[in-house]
A and B are shown apart, each in its own frame.
Chain A
Amino acid sequence: MFDFDLTLPLMALQFLLLVALLNAIFYKPLTKVLEDRDDYILKNEKEARERLAKAEELATKYEQQLAEARKQSVEVIAKAQAEAKKIADAEIAGAQQEAIAQREKATEEIASQKQAAMQALEQQVDALSRQIWEKLVGPGLIRY
């Protein structure tokens, strides 16, 4: 059972050759494959991370822009509203002034007509009172 012979060194030599052979056709190529794959995965992961970061950055940028646009639109609306109010106020004020002016004019007209009427009435009063007086004292007595 324990007969050592040339099998031992030959087997050792054969094993060393096997190590060299497998190193060339198994360990080296497949280790390279494994490492390449690790690199590939790492690289892709890094790229994906970068893209994600970029996308997030863009998203925040767009959100900022959106917020700004909202703010601007609110401002524009407020400005437009203020302007419209100003115009409306101005027009209302103009209309009121006009109305006041027309009323005053009407009042004046009324006053002048009233005066004219009063004058006419006064003349009539004179004439009437003269007539009345003539009738009362007779026409021959009247002297001016």
Chain B
Amino acid sequence: MEILNSLSVFNSFPLAELEVGQHFYWEIGNYSIHGQVFLTSWFVIGLLVLASLAAIINVQKVPRGMQNMMEYALEFIRDLAKSQLGEKEYRPWVPFIGTLFLFIFVSNWSGALLPWKIISLPEGELAAPTNDINTTVALALLTSIAYFYAGFKKKGLGYFAKYIEPTPVLLPIAILEDFTKPLSLSFRLFGNILADELVVAVLVLLVPLFVPLPVMALGLFTSAIQALVFATLAGAYIHEALEGHGDEEHEE
């Protein structure tokens, strides 16, 4: 980060700064937490809750305004879950997969659209909650727990059969998969969002006007795609746990 800091020497205007790896720490007992992540995540959660409340406060047969928008969102999420989990299994998983999508999507776009950096903190800076590795790892681990839960609930201990299902030779790879799944999920999201914000910040640092706009637009696109990818993969993993590796359960 020394390079970036030395770059900012050239920029005498305080238009943009880069702060990576600096956090606004809150102390709870002996532990510390990243305050800026929670502040923006509360904002995101508040936005989602407000939108939901606005949608259901006056439910009508013919949807209008907010209800229409949230119904569109819900149908999108239901279709996403249905396409991954299948007609029979998708219903109980809609809230989890849908909230993954909504939370990541709103977080990413709030990071890309809102000028968080106007609000200055004593240390660190406000950004999308998905900009922090803790958030993405938390979501990825929850996904892992979710698919283990799905597998155990459906098959009990028979779930372990999937590790040696086609052939026990693949056992190490099957076990490895359980580690690579959350790893790839969390790092993909974290990397994409952080990289996008860094690229935009660096471009703003170099050329404050107009030039960063195409990259910002691209960032909006990537953000949406990353939310979709995360939710889709979570659905796919849960589906895999429900189905098992073998082809013997494909009669449905």
Contact = CB atoms under 8 A, between A and B. Distances in A.
A4 interface: yes
B74 A15 contact: no
B141 A12 contact: yes
Contacts of B45: 14, 18
B99 A19 contact: yes
A29 B56 contact: yes
Nearest to A1: B21
B148 interface: no
Contact of B52 (A7, A14, A25, A33): A25
A3 B71 contact: no
User: Dominant SS at the A interface?
Assistant: helix
A8 interface: yes
Contacts, number: 105
Contacts of B21: 1, 3
A9 interface: yes
A2 B41 CA distance: 19
Given A4-B134, A5-B34, A30-B71, A18 B48 contact: yes
A26 interface: yes
A10 interface: yes
Interface string B32-63: 11100110010001001100110110010101
Given A18-B45, A22-B52, A34 B71 contact: yes
Chain B interface size range: 35 or more
Contacts of B61: 37, 40
Contacts of B75: 34
Interface in A1-58: 1-12, 14-16, 18-19, 21-23, 25-27, 29-31, 33-34, 37, 40
B90 to A, nearest CB: 12
Interface in B81-139: 94-96, 98-99, 102-103, 129, 132-135, 137-139
26 contacts: A2-B133, A4-B137, A5-B31, A5-B33, A6-B28, A6-B33, A7-B132, A8-B137, A8-B141, A11-B138, A12-B139, A18-B45, A18-B48, A18-B99, A19-B99, A21-B49, A23-B95, A25-B49, A26-B52, A26-B70, A26-B74, A30-B70, A30-B71, A30-B74, A33-B59, A33-B67
Interface of A: 1-12, 14-16, 18-19, 21-23, 25-27, 29-31, 33-34, 37, 40
Given A5-B134, A6-B31, A8-B134, 18 more contacts: A2-B133, A3-B21, A4-B133, A5-B33, A6-B28, A7-B135, A8-B141, A10-B38, A11-B138, A15-B99, A15-B103, A15-B138, A19-B95, A27-B74, A29-B59, A30-B55, A30-B70, A33-B67
